[in-house]
Amino acid sequence: MRAVLQRVTRASVRVEGEVVGEIKAGVLVLLGIARDDTRVDALYLVEKIAALRIFEDAEGRMNLSVAETGGALLVVSQFTLYGDARRGRRPSWFEAAAPEVAAPLYEFFVGEARKTLQGRVETGSFRRMMEVELTNDGPVTILLDSRKQF
């Protein structure tokens, strides 16, 4: 499972012009699910994201987590994080999970994140064309992989 985290002052997702998820300060999580991912991968990333110290403390050092600041998550499914563009000009999606595999893992991830952050989690719409809008704070962007490939 892969995630691109962006520390934001605000973020929202629209589907067909309607806002379906919106947060103020927190983290936008673009979440990609591989075909062989399990709940173990989801739990690892939920715990890592909730505890990752990417918010500034009173001294201006990145020393606080989203959990400690009371911030929120906006979780957006992003199968394209598993696009392999090493060969040719068209990415291969071979490593990305099929929707029937990815959807339950995505919902599990969101549910565990809601438990961890006391409900402060919004989402996009799985398998829908979405417009994501954000104001990156810093900017701070972090890449995570449950297999620790980077």
Structure tokens at 120: 């402060």
Residue with the two structure tokens 């071979």: 94
CA 126 from centre of chain = 13
* Residue among 6, 9, 55, 79 flagged as catalytic: 79
CA distance linking residue 73 with residue 50, whole number of Å: 9
Helix 99-116, helix 39-51: angle, nearest 10 = 40
| Number of neighbours of residue 92 by Cβ within 10 angstroms | 13
* Residue among 6, 78, 116, 123 flagged as catalytic: 78
* Residue among 9, 80, 135, 141 flagged as catalytic: 80
Q: Does 109 qualify as catalytic in the annotation? A: no
Structure tokens at 85: 């563009």
Sequence-ordered alpha helix ranges (H) in the chain: 39-51, 66-69, 99-116
Q: Does 80 qualify as catalytic in the annotation? A: yes
> Rg (Cα) of the chain, in Å, rounded?
15
Active site positions, annotated? 78-80
